Structure 1
């Protein structure tokens, strides 16, 4: 065995020993956390839902199509258990939320940009497409109730910071009344709108969910998040009704 081969073998042994030691230290930390009722979880899933007024106002006559788009989430949680029934969870979630809709509306207040670049505002009757996209940093704080060894229910508030948000669309094949529904009528083939700058940066709401322990380290998760603060800023008056984010999340979680 030459010197070069010996050095390679020695280096491999050192790396292996270091990896084993790190694994042992990690296992000791996890076991120590379990003795004081702490558990660490990592979740991943996808959001399905939309941003909507509740209930639907009279101005929205028909939903022609709805596409929830692809929106993912990844989350890390720390769970503190107090006894065999109750616990509390706090986490950090990175997530996307989005939707695309097409609706027929009547006397829907709208501010839009015509094809010639001019701005128009009034009561719109016709078709409207809307696209909503948001990226959020969310903190959920949830009470946990253990129904059984495999089932948990969770309920509590969440708080989000919107790192980026878009709200835009098109008004098409209709007419605009100036001022009110009896104002001057202007036929419009197509016009666009964009309210990105009018979105709030902070959102909050409630979360209701359940988790099922499929295996010793694997959970199947499902929850519903409901915003209680409108997505637009307080001084935004173009859309005359409040809109709230309502999304379901389905995913999997790993328990350390």
Structure 2
């Protein structure tokens, strides 16, 4: 029995040696290469808190704004499976949401020009549409001819900002939760100029090749820096850019 096992092992090793030799030949014959890609797609997601704060009592509706993404990526494949990539993208990130809030710290302006800072209770509509120049940096793993995975971080610079909305059917406690109660039929807010000019976060995704040079791709970017500074009084919780880009990549 022992002799049969030894013979079987010898046969298996002998049969498998051409495959090992072929894999070794593939690995040693690979030459590092630079790859260029054009990326295009749309961002879907939200500029939102991580977890719903207790001042937001109900989300009535949400939808994504028209948020295209267009960019270029340069990657370096050091081996047949591993490499690194850096890119530059024009990213629009936006959404609209309607909700109901209670004792929500904010700053609003009524139709007659009066401004109030305090805790609002009622209905709210917020519209966000911001544009960034984004620099993503990734480690890239290519297990086969079809799939390609990336994981890394990004830095982004805001060059166009829009964060505004309206409140209605409620009241505000001017100056704080114990302040004078003022009925609000309708008022507006505009915090576009208060947004930070720099964002940083994590990003990662996957691409699947559907043609000789064309791939479909998805990439999640999760901001780690709140879009407003810590001393901003228009929101009582930090908000982050959390968006998924779905699109295509074309290898040039």
Verify same fold: TM over 0.5.
yes
| CA distance, structure 2, for counterparts of residue 157 and residue 142 of structure 1 | 7
TM-score by length of 2: 0.86
Equivalent residue in structure 2 for 1:201, among 181, 190, 197: 197
Query: 2:84: which partner in 1?
Result: 88
Equivalent residue in structure 2 for 1:69, among 54, 65, 78: 65
SS at match of 1:215: coil
Query: 2:116: which partner in 1?
Result: 120
Q: CA contact under 8 A between 2:140 and 2:148: conserved in structure 1? A: yes
Structure-to-structure mapping, 1:49-198, within 5 angstroms: 49-198=45-194
Higher mean displacement: 178-187 or 167-176 = 178-187
SS at match of 1:249: strand
| CA distance, structure 1, for counterparts of residue 189 and residue 141 of structure 2 | 45
| CA distance, structure 1, for counterparts of residue 36 and residue 193 of structure 2 | 37
| CA distance, structure 2, for counterparts of residue 133 and residue 109 of structure 1 | 22
SS at match of 1:108: strand
| CA distance, structure 1, for counterparts of residue 163 and residue 70 of structure 2 | 23
Q: Deviations over 1:132-184 (max 9, x none)?
A: 11111100001111132211111100111111101110011001112333332
Q: CA contact under 8 A between 2:32 and 2:78: conserved in structure 1? A: no
SS at match of 1:158: strand
SS at match of 1:233: coil
Query: 2:206: which partner in 1?
Result: 210
Q: Which runs of 5+ in 1 are unaligned?
A: 1-33
Q: CA contact under 8 A between 2:34 and 2:76: conserved in structure 1? A: yes
Q: Deviations over 1:89-137 (max 9, x none)?
A: 1001012111111010000001110111010111100001001111111
Shift of 1:234: 3.7
> C-alpha root-mean-square deviation of aligned residues, in Å?
1.3
Q: Which runs of 5+ in 2 are unaligned?
A: 1-29
Q: CA contact under 8 A between 2:88 and 2:136: conserved in structure 1? A: yes
Shift of 1:35: 5.2
Q: CA contact under 8 A between 2:172 and 2:181: conserved in structure 1? A: yes
Equivalent residue in structure 2 for 1:222, among 206, 218, 221: 218
Question: What is the total number of aligned residue pairs between the two structures?
Answer: 223
Runs (4+) of structure 1 exceeding 2 A deviation are 178-184
Query: 2:38: which partner in 1?
Result: 42
